[in-house]
Amino acid sequence: MHPSSTAKSGHLDSSDVISKGVNRDIGPFSATKDVYCRQCGFICNLSRDLKNLDEFVGETAGQGFIVTDHDYDGGSRTTSSLSLELANGSFEDWTAGSPDDWTLVGSVTQTTTEGYYDPSDGGVSSAAVVRSGSDISSSQAMSTPSDFNGNIVVFRARVKSLTNEVIRLRMDINGVTHYSSYNAAQQRFRELSLTVICPATVSSLTVYVLADNANGTAYIDQAILARSGNPTTAVIHSGCPQCGSHNYY
C-alpha cells in the first residue's frame, strides 16, 4: 500500500527539535527531581536509577551479605542481613571468656582495643589468639550440611598479626580436609580465604580457624562462610526500577 496523498513524508533533520505532542523534547530532567515512568507510572529519579545501573546490574546477593531495601515507592529504607551461615562470625558475643557459638581447643580472648579489631563490619571486638608451642583452634559445624549440596563455598576471615604463618583456615567436608594459606605478617587486618566446591551430597561441614604453626599473637575478625545457593539476582538492568522503561514524563 502507498501512503495517502495527504500523509506526511520525509525525515526530520537531526537538528530539528520536536516541540509538540507526547514525544516532544522537554529538555533534560533534574537529577534531584522525581519523574514518572510513562510505561507503568512508577516514580523514578534519574540520579537514583543510574546508581542502580552502575552498582547493581547483574550482581548476585548470596548468603552472608548486607542488603539495603531503599523502598522507592515512598516508604522508609531498611537495611538487613541475609541469613548467615556462621554465628558470631565477628566475635562480638562472649560468655565466660569464650566466643559464643564457637568450639575451642585451647583458648582465645576478647579484644576491644581500637586497632585490634576490624571496624568495617560495625563491630568493636575481635578474638586474640596467642600460640606458644600448642595448637589452638576455633570451629563451627553446620547444623544442616545438606544446604551446601553442590554449592561453591567460601570461608574467609580477617587476620592481623606481626608474625608470619600463625593462622590458617580449614574446612572439613564429608571428612575431607581443605586448608587455606597461612597469614602474612602485616600491620593491618588482611583477608584469608578458602574456596571449595562441595560434592553433590554434603553430610558434614565444619570450618576452623587454626593457630597450628608459628608462635605469635594474631587477631581474628569477620569470619564469614558464604555459599552460592539460593541467590537473589537483580532483574532490572537500567531505566525504571519497576519495569525497565526509559520513557519518562
Task: Give 166-197 pLDDT, tens digit per residue.
Answer: 999 999 999 999 999 999 999 999 999 999 99
Residue 48 lies in a domain: no
Distance between CA atoms of residues 129 and 21, nearest Å: 72
**The domain containing residue 217 runs over which residues?**
94-227
Task: Report the domain count for the chain.
Answer: 1
Predicted confidence (pLDDT) at residue 60 exceeds the cutoff of 70: no
Residue 156 lies in a domain: yes
Q: Any idea how long the chain is?
A: 249
Residue 239 lies in a domain: no
Task: Kindly report the backbone phi and psi dihedral angles of residue 159, in degrees, each rounded to the nearest multiple of 5, phi listed first.
Answer: -130, 135
Predicted confidence (pLDDT) at residue 35 exceeds the cutoff of 60: yes
Q: What count of Cα atoms within 13 Å lies in the side-chain half-sphere of residue 96?
A: 3
Residue 205 lies in a domain: yes
Task: Give 203-212 pLDDT, tens digit per residue.
Answer: 999 999 999 9
The three-class DSSP label of residue 178 is strand
Residue 57 lies in a domain: no
Query: What is each CA distance from 110 to 55, 87, 106, in whole angstroms?
Result: 36, 16, 14
Residue 19 lies in a domain: no
Residue 181 lies in a domain: yes
Mean pLDDT of 149-159: 93
Write the CATH number for 117. 2.60.120.260
Contacts of 34 (CB under 8 A, 6+ apart): 43, 44, 45
Task: Give 136-148 pLDDT, tens digit per residue.
Answer: 999 999 999 999 9
pLDDT at 174: 98
pLDDT at 85: 85
Alpha helices in the chain (DSSP H): 46-56
Residue 190 lies in a domain: yes
Task: Give 64-92 pLDDT, tens digit per residue.
Answer: 444 455 554 445 555 444 446 899 999 99
Mean pLDDT of 106-121: 93
Q: Nearest 5°: CA angle at 48, between 45 and 53?
A: 115
